[in-house]
A and B are shown apart, each in its own frame.
Chain A
Amino acid sequence: MEAKQVATAVGRGLVRRRELSIFVVCVAAAIYFAVTGSGFTTSENYHTIAQYVAPWIIIGAGEVMLLICGQIDLSAGFVFTLAPFVLTSFTGDGMPLLLALVCAVAISALVGVVNGLIHTLFNLASFIVTLGMAFFLEGMSLIASNAQPEAAPANGWVAQVFGRARWSELIWALAIVAVMQALLSTTKFGVNTQAVGSNPIGAAEAGIRINRIKIVNFALCSGLAGLGGILDGIRVGSFDPTNGGNETMFLAVASAVIGGTALLGGSGTIIGALLGALLLGIVYDGFNLTGVNANAFDVVLGIAIIAAMLLNVYLGVLRRKASR
């Protein structure tokens, strides 16, 4: 009797809270790999997973905001690539690391402002604007780096805090998730972002400045991507022009979508993207450990994205029925 009640409650929770269902899948995947693969449950391996997922989480947090307001940023992956070289151009001129870092993140955010302005002023789909921006930034990264990796700053507390210290990149990722989720779900800005994505005309009629909301979210997404690129580079110890790029961006978007964010705008959560990234990270790492061909990861990723979309639709229908 009681077990049955618990089961119904859990079932209802799974339907109502999209994140819970991904969390359950994450745990299931972790248990599977812990049982079948050797070395999954070591601190070393957790660290490896953290390294995979941190960039996806950080970029994903920004992409969720953009997706919720009905936009997407395909250039975030190359902001991630370029930002470290912006940083070294400043430190090369003798600027202190912390200041250079702040400037590099600000310039990254400015890329988002440009994306947002082109989108809003010329009414050009953000898909197109940011696709163009992606190629532009890829070229700029190669020019700025001479297509060569550079040593990343490694000394001093700033480098320690921003990626060098073990786990620091993951801690940044989690802190970003907390802040962005609070922004989304507890502030007027978050509600307005949802309104803009769900019904832009209605939002405008209610007096919401939809262009401003969009531009701020483009800036947030790019700024986070820039910060993510710098953290990741400092962690690795070198800034590499082949790091980041489209693959990182698409994995971030995939994390968001698996986490329940609607591609057409209006709904989604940052925590969902965190869990989506975690799921991808666990599977990727698990495949490595169990010796499955890395190419199979993409096969699973493809299936996971489509399955997540189907689940979204299905759970949406269930939720509607439940609330009747």
Chain B
Amino acid sequence: MTAQEEGSVTAGGAETAPEVIRAEHISKRFGAVQALKDVNLYVRRGEILGLIGDNGAGKSTLIKTLTGFHRPDQGRLLFNGTETALRSVVHARSLGIDTVFQDLAMINDLPVYLNLFLNRELTHRPLPVLRRSEMRRRAREALDSIGISIPSVDTEVGQLSGGQRQAIAVARSVYAESTQLLLLDEPLAAMGAKEGGQILRLLKRLKERRDIAIILIAHNYAQIVDICDRVNLLQHGEITLDRASQETSVSELLELVHAEYGVN
């Protein structure tokens, strides 16, 4: 059933839609660790790209390079076809690149609504004074529309469960205005089946809008095959596989990953 759904979406134009981001020959080194080696990758508008790989393969480093947190040592990024040097996370965001980081970038001592607006707080311009009630109202709306249940938007994030925190991190990026590229680094890791399903449905809805490109990192290959249009496998900083989800399966992906270690 899902395969059919995806088939129609892909056939419906994702393959011919323009590329939102293309990374060319990206390398990144941390001291002795070569985290990324000559990485090439692209995503089209309306497409979800699954990024898989072992722990330490370089997935988060790649995401952080695409969002302006890390500067690549080599290589270049094309954003909507134009070569772009991302100066900072804020710069990337201003272009429409939004990220759910693996560590969630949640501020435990701040309430939910301030986390949702972290570093993009609404203020009474030109004064830097916060518009707290407006932020509360919009936060409530955003969370309600995804169906995330939390006690109140005034709750300190530190008091929420891991899954709730993750849901809020996803909501923060999804509800940012004018997002063109959404990067999600293991957004489902701490979630129960129900909440994870909610987020997956949300991503499917976003995909149906066809105006956003998504890169999703997950260790659950079933989820990847289910929701993504394409899968890239990252091994030791190199992309070793780029395949349409329809042309692969959970068992093939597991085989490919395990082959490296000689597991039968």
Contact = CB atoms under 8 A, between A and B. Distances in A.
A186 B90 contact: no
B128 to A, nearest CB: 5
Given A202-B105, A202-B107, A208-B119, 6 more contacts: A191-B118, A198-B108, A198-B109, A206-B118, A207-B89, A208-B118
- Pairs A-B, 7 closest by C-beta atoms: A202-B105, A266-B109, A207-B89, A207-B90, A205-B105, A198-B109, A206-B119
B106 A202 contact: yes
Interface string B124-145: 0000111000000000000000
Nearest to A182: B129
Given A195-B118, A205-B89, A205-B103, A188 B130 contact: yes
Dominant secondary structure of chain B at its interface with chain A: loop
Interface residues of A, number: 24
Contacts of A203: 105, 107, 118-119
Given A323-B155, A323-B159, A199 B105 contact: yes
A188 B151 CA distance: 25
A197 to B, nearest CB: 8
Contact of A201 (B103, B123, B155): B103
Contacts of A187: 123, 128-130
Contacts of B107: 194-195, 198-199, 202-203, 266
A189 B128 contact: yes
A267 interface: yes
A167 B99 CA distance: 53
A320 interface: yes
Interface string A267-290: 100000000000000000000000
Contacts of A197: 109
A267 B109 contact: yes
Interface in A193-217: 194-195, 197-199, 201-208
B121 interface: yes
Dominant secondary structure of chain A at its interface with chain B: helix
Contact of A188 (B69, B99, B121): B121
Contacts of B130: 186-188, 191
Contacts of A222: none
B58 to A, nearest CB: 17
Contacts of B159: 320, 323-324
A192 interface: yes
Nearest to A262: B109
Contacts of B99: 205
A191 B88 CA distance: 20
A323 B105 contact: no
A324 B156 CA distance: 11
B93 interface: yes
B92 to A, nearest CB: 8
B128 A207 contact: no
Interface in B88-114: 88-90, 93, 99, 101, 103-110, 114
B114 A191 contact: yes
Which one of A186, A187, A202, A324 has the greatest number of beta carbons of chain B within 10 Å? A202
Nearest to B169: A202
Interface string B55-88: 0000000000000010000000000000000001
Interface in B217-239: none
B128 A188 contact: yes
A191 B121 contact: yes
Contacts of A189: 128
A267 B93 CA distance: 28
B114 to A, nearest CB: 6
A194 B103 contact: no
A123 to B, nearest CB: 15
13 contacts: A187-B129, A191-B121, A195-B107, A202-B101, A202-B106, A202-B107, A203-B105, A205-B105, A206-B89, A207-B93, A207-B119, A208-B118, A323-B159
Interface string A6-47: 000000000000000000000000000000000000000000
A188 B156 CA distance: 18
A199 B128 contact: no
Nearest to B64: A205
B88 A207 contact: yes
Interface string A242-259: 000000000000000000
